[in-house]
Structure 1
Amino acid sequence: MRASVLAAMALLFGAVAAHAQVTLDELDKQMTERDRELSEFAARLNDPDLEKSLAAMKLLIEKGDADQRRLAIRYGLYSPDMAVRATVLRAIFNSDPTLVVEMRPVAEETGVYFQREIKALGGSFRPDGTVSVVFKLAGYDEAQACWYWVMPNNQKRCLIRLSADTVSLFIGDSWGQYTLNPEGALVGNQTVKDDLTEARVSLAE
């Protein structure tokens, strides 16, 4: 009885394994079709009509899959056009991303209030002296004109405001101003509890 059950199970697993197999031809075909599809999306992003291009970029970032989102974000972040950069930033923030803010304090030693604030935000201190804090955006507050995150006590708190292609972040007790660099990251100076830091937020995927 036991032997027959084991044999049946072996046959079942063998059938599942055989069914789950993907041939090289199938893989090549799917990859080719995906490359062709992404090329067509790239063509939409490069449409000479700026309004169509921006609409395509916004849609792909906010509703596309991982590949489509990555394609559109890179297109927008590396664009020299201010309207494109502003649109890509707004679309990224509207997609409720998780942002990692990396800060390097200017002073060799930071104050106790800075350290307390970073810990209260759930941040981490690294051996090289930098700190990082993770924020999960949770929506846009029309009244305060900002994208917010939800604190551990379930209170909403403004994190980001956008003016043209300049981004302002509120961390601790101060607003810091950031601009996009050529690598697709937001860079700026951020003061937290009187300690000045050089900050960076990577947006490219």
Structure 2
Amino acid sequence: MPGSDSPPRADAARNRERLLHAARQALAEGDRSLQLNDVARRAGVGVGTAYRHFPTPRALLETLVQAQLDDALDQARRELAAPDPWAGLTRLLTTGIALLVSDPGFAEVLAAGTDTLPRTSQLKQELYDAVDQLLRRVRDVGALRPGVDGDDILRLMCGVSYAARLAEDTGSPAGPAGLPGPAGSPTAIGELAGRYAGWLLDALRAP
């Protein structure tokens, strides 16, 4: 019958969105395990439905962050066309670190050496390529310290975001090892990440 497939497809799409919404809530509450049984219960769907959409927690996490990967890639390509390559790198690095700090799931996927979904691998490779091209432009104008490549930049960004999130995890005015640090509020963590990003840019700039 014409249109007989529409309700199942619509139901499947709704269930998928409910699962993604539930997973986002879990991440926002600090649950990074994304166990599919728990996510299914939050979403109000059967466990079998969850596994049909996302065979593993990792597949669910990668699906969640693909929009962020798309956004990061779009920005990298915009900055590649910027008239001032160093300013473009500065914007990309600063914005990227802020996103990594606010979204630990994105940081985990970006830093991973292997991926579950082919689309994740494709987006990451395109992002690495765009960053490498931007670095070549920065290097061509003599603004970049020698020996730095795109992989270095992305790993350093992940490292800076992790260091900033340590202050959030301590939840106290004193940072790790008793060093002065913020009290763990999102605003304070963002300010700390901004300072770290500035220091990283200073280290990357050619003498």
**How does the TM-score come out when normalised to structure 1?**
0.32
The structure whose residues are more often strand, as a share, is: 1
* Higher Cα Rg, which structure: 1
**How does the TM-score come out when normalised to structure 2?**
0.32
The structure whose residues are more often helix, as a share, is: 2
